[in-house]
Structure formats: C-alpha cells, structure tokens
C-alpha cells in the first residue's frame, strides 16, 4: 500500500502548499490601503490653509494659517509622503511574489524579513510624525496657559479640521503598518514551522 505522505523536497525548496497566496494577497491589500491612507493624509495636510481678516479701528489685515508654517506639520507631510512612496514599492514587490511564486523557502523568508525591517522603520517615522503633529495640533486646539499660548482653532476652524482629519487618517496608516509587521512575522513563523516538520 502506497504511503500518502509526500516525499521530502530537495534542500532549499518547499512544497507547493507552503507557498499559500493568502498571506501575500492580504499583505498586498493592506499595502494598497496604506497607500490610500498615506496619500489622503498628505493631501489633506497640504491643503490645510485658511486666511482670516483681522479688523482693528485703524486698519484691517489678513493673517493666513498654512501647514508649512509649522516644522511639525512639514515633518508630518514628509513622513507620510515617504510612507506613500514606500507602499508603492512594497506593493509592487508583494504583487511580484504573488504573481510569480518562488520555490525557495529561504528567499521567501528573506523577503518577509526585509519587509518587516522596512515596515518597522516606516512605522516609526509615521508614528513619530503623527505624535509630533498631534502635539502641535492640541496646542492649537486647547492652547497652553502656562506658556501663555492661546488656542487658534476658535479662529482658524477650517484649518484645524483639516489637521485633525489628517491626523486621524495617519493613525489609521500606523495601525495598517502594525498589521503588516504582524502579518509578515506570522508568514515567517509559518515558513519556519513548516520547514521544521
């Protein structure tokens, strides 16, 4: 009676069922969402400008509020632009692995490990930029009585709404990056576990 157990593959190669397209497809979907979220956050941030006309008894003048007046918001726009560009490159790499499955387990594991490292770097940049911009946005919303900084969101309401929306979308992008790190780590675990069995 013939055994149902499959023959062991040659060294460096693994069986077809090990290269399941489900994790790679999920990875690609998350990267498309990351691209959308990052691009949306950047567009909303760079379009956040508002001009207010201030009138005094003697004369009137206009004071604009723009994102590039704050280094925190400039850093935010740069970090999210980097995340947008990275999501395109990593999405292309994921789709290439999905379209052309690789028979080398070591190569696929190296690919996932590289993705984990890059995702963590981008996550750090996006999270730091979101926290930095959020702190400045909070000062604009609430002010700081100890430093004698008054709030500006009661005057520049549209500007502050743009900043707040951009920060919320950026938080969503950070959650997507965390999910990508977890998914890549799970894929590496599965490949290593199946290699030991």
Instruction: Break the chain into its structural domains and give their ranges.
Output: 19-196
pLDDT band, residue 111 (cuts 50/70/90): confident
Look at the pTM and tell me if it is higher than 0.85: no
Per-residue pLDDT at 112 exceeds 60: yes
Q: The tokens of 161 are what?
A: 């709404």
By DSSP bridging, strand 60-66 and strand 49-55 are antiparallel
H helix runs in 47-156, sequence order: 71-99, 105-142
At 74, the pLDDT band (50, 70, 90 cuts) reads: very high
Who contacts 176 (Cβ-Cβ below 8 Å, separation ≥6)?
30, 33, 34, 37
Contacts of residue 1, defined as CB under 8 A and 6 or more positions apart, other chains included, come to none
The answer to whether residue 73 scores a pLDDT higher than 70 is yes
d(CA 175, CA 191): 24
């Amino acid at each position: 009676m013939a055994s149902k157990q499959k023959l062991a593959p040659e060294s460096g190669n693994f069986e077809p069922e090990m290269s399941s397209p489900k994790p790679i497809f999920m990875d690609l979907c998350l990267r498309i969402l990351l691209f959308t979220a990052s691009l949306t956050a950047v567009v909303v941030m760079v379009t956040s400008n508002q001009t207010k006309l201030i009138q005094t008894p003697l004369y009137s003048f206009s004071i604009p509020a723009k994102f590039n007046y704050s280094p925190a918001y400039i850093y935010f726009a740069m970090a999210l632009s980097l995340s947008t560009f990275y999501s395109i490159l990593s999405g292309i790499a994921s789709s290439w692995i999905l379209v052309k499955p690789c028979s080398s387990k070591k190569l696929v594991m190296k690919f996932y490990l590289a993705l984990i490292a890059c995702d963590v770097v981008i996550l750090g940049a996006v999270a730091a930029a979101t926290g930095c911009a959020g702190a400045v946005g909070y000062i604009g919303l609430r002010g700081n009585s100890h430093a004698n900084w008054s709030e500006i969101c009661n005057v520049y309401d549209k500007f502050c709404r743009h900043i707040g929306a951009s920060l919320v979308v950026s938080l969503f992008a950070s959650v997507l990056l965390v999910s990508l790190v977890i998914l890549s780590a799970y894929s590496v675990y599965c490949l290593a576990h199946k290699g030991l069995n």
